[in-house]
Structure 1
Amino acid sequence: MIITIGGPAGSGTSTTTKLLSEKTGIPYISAGDVFRQMAAERDMDILEFSKFAEGNTEIDQEIDQRQARIASESEDLIVEGRLSAHFVDADLKVWCNAPLDIRAERISQRENKPVDVAREEIITREESEAQRYLEIHQIDINNMDVYDIVINTHAFKADSVAEIIVKVTEVIRCQQ
């Protein structure tokens, strides 16, 4: 089974992906993993490669293409990334979300920064990404039509979010 997990910063996609992988035994890749691999291939550290990737649409496109290729060569895989559902032929496409203030609090704790700073960074990043996704891929990141399920990760504990997805995969398997 191929599953994509997407969502905005701080929505719990990484946690959900790891827990889902543990519960199902399905391996996972993330857009971040692919990004780090691409940096290593160019003998760059993450910061150097991030600078290089700014304004370089080919990098964004390569990340998406690699994820899609890896998924197409796999029988079972969880693919985590904000745009993965748009490029990966998946059996289940999941979008995780949470209220902005909750996401800011999570990032604040994770990155040891003030909540108001995290909140402003999220807003700036999301505006920038929305514009880039539209320009590069003609994708409106706020259109949820591509997703099979959308989960408010603030409404459930992390383990429960993964369990919801497991239950949905069981339903899908029964229908195949």
Structure 2
Amino acid sequence: MKVAIDGPAGSGKSTIARMIAERLGFLYINSGSLYRAIAFLALCEGIDWRDIEKMISLAKKHHFDYLADGSVLVDEERLAEELRTPEVDAIVSQVSAIPQIRAEVNSIIRKISEGKDVVSEGRDITTVVFPDADVKLYLDASPKIRAERRYHERLGKQVPDKNEGDGVASISIEEIRKNIEMRDKLDAQKPIGALKIAEDAIYLDTSDLTIEQVYDKVYKILRARIAHGR
């Protein structure tokens, strides 16, 4: 069974997808983590994301995989907090807008998903990666709510700021909101893999819902589909 979940940054799709995958025993795939991994590698190797040829070579020379919890493996090394820094945030949308990078990431996801029950989430999972998914969902929320969620997520994970030693990243909610709105605009304007709601996707606005409430709604939808053999 393939469950596909799309939505903008901070809409709750990653948390919900992870919870649902764990509950059902499905593999959890976060497509955004692959784009973040490629952006992180570019920063580490001093590659300018504007150098398309080098970015393509970078994506192809490394081996990517997922652990059961959705963590990304790059050449057998697990990456997690490294992918959620302000530096990665600043370029990941531009990296993910490169058509050749999108094609490579989509190919990786499809290959990993072959023959497996999967909950996959991202921005074009329902429209490009798995257009024939058994269940399609689109989670949304206001930019203000999404910025607050990302801010508190960083506080909880104690993401270091390179300019502040071991302290929590100093980026403010307002800065996060501006980054989110910029990314929304870029994602909507991508020539390939633009963020949009699939015609047959179930739309859920999570702005005024707790994670538990969203989870309950999504789980009921999936149980109903499973019960009907769909």
Please classify the TM superposition score into its range, dividing by the shorter chain length: 0.7 to 0.9
Q: Which residue of 2 aligns with 1:76?
A: 117
Q: What are the equivalent positions in structure 2 for 1:9-158 lying under 5 Å apart?
A: 9-35=9-35, 39=38, 45=41, 47-48=43-44, 51=49, 52=55, 54=95, 56-71=98-113, 73-86=114-127, 87-88=129-130, 89-111=132-154, 112=169, 113-132=171-190, 135-137=191-193, 139=194, 141-147=195-201, 149-158=202-211
Query: What residue ranges of structure 2 are gaps of 5+ in the alignment?
Result: 50-54, 57-94, 155-168
In the alignment, is the contact (CA less than 8 A) between 1:67 and 1:84 conserved in 2? Answer: no
What RMSD in Å do the two structures reach over aligned CA positions?
2.6
Q: 1:50 Cα shift?
A: 8.0
Deviations along 1:108-151, one digit per CA (max 9) or x if unpaired, are 2234521211111111111112111xx124x5x3444141x111
Query: What residue ranges of structure 1 are gaps of 5+ in the alignment?
Result: none
In the alignment, the residues of structure 1 paired with residue 186 and residue 36 of structure 2 have an alpha-carbon distance, to the nearest angstrom, of 21
TM-score under structure 2 normalisation? Answer: 0.63
Matched, 1:168 2:168: no
Q: 1:160 Cα shift?
A: 2.6
In the alignment, the residues of structure 1 paired with residue 111 and residue 200 of structure 2 have an alpha-carbon distance, to the nearest angstrom, of 19
Q: 1:167 Cα shift?
A: 1.2
Q: 1:74 Cα shift?
A: 2.6
* Partner-residue secondary structure (3-state), 1:45: helix
In the alignment, the residues of structure 2 paired with residue 50 and residue 110 of structure 1 have an alpha-carbon distance, to the nearest angstrom, of 28
Q: 1:47 Cα shift?
A: 2.9
In the alignment, is the contact (CA less than 8 A) between 2:126 and 2:198 conserved in 1? Answer: no
When residues 120 and 34 of structure 1 are mapped into structure 2, their CA distance, relative to the original with a 3 A threshold, is closer
Bigger CA radius of gyration: 2
In the alignment, the residues of structure 1 paired with residue 10 and residue 223 of structure 2 have an alpha-carbon distance, to the nearest angstrom, of 27
When residues 30 and 46 of structure 1 are mapped into structure 2, their CA distance, relative to the original with a 3 A threshold, is farther
In the alignment, the residues of structure 2 paired with residue 13 and residue 103 of structure 1 have an alpha-carbon distance, to the nearest angstrom, of 11
When residues 50 and 151 of structure 1 are mapped into structure 2, their CA distance, relative to the original with a 3 A threshold, is farther
In the alignment, the residues of structure 2 paired with residue 20 and residue 94 of structure 1 have an alpha-carbon distance, to the nearest angstrom, of 12
Runs of 4+ with >6 A deviation: none
* Partner-residue secondary structure (3-state), 2:147: helix
Q: Which amino acid aligns with 1:116?
A: E
In the alignment, is the contact (CA less than 8 A) between 1:98 and 1:152 conserved in 2? Answer: yes
Say how many residue pairs are matched.
166
In the alignment, the residues of structure 2 paired with residue 157 and residue 74 of structure 1 have an alpha-carbon distance, to the nearest angstrom, of 33
In the alignment, is the contact (CA less than 8 A) between 2:5 and 2:126 conserved in 1? Answer: yes
Greater helix content: 1
In the alignment, is the contact (CA less than 8 A) between 1:29 and 1:78 conserved in 2? Answer: yes
When residues 150 and 101 of structure 1 are mapped into structure 2, their CA distance, relative to the original with a 3 A threshold, is same
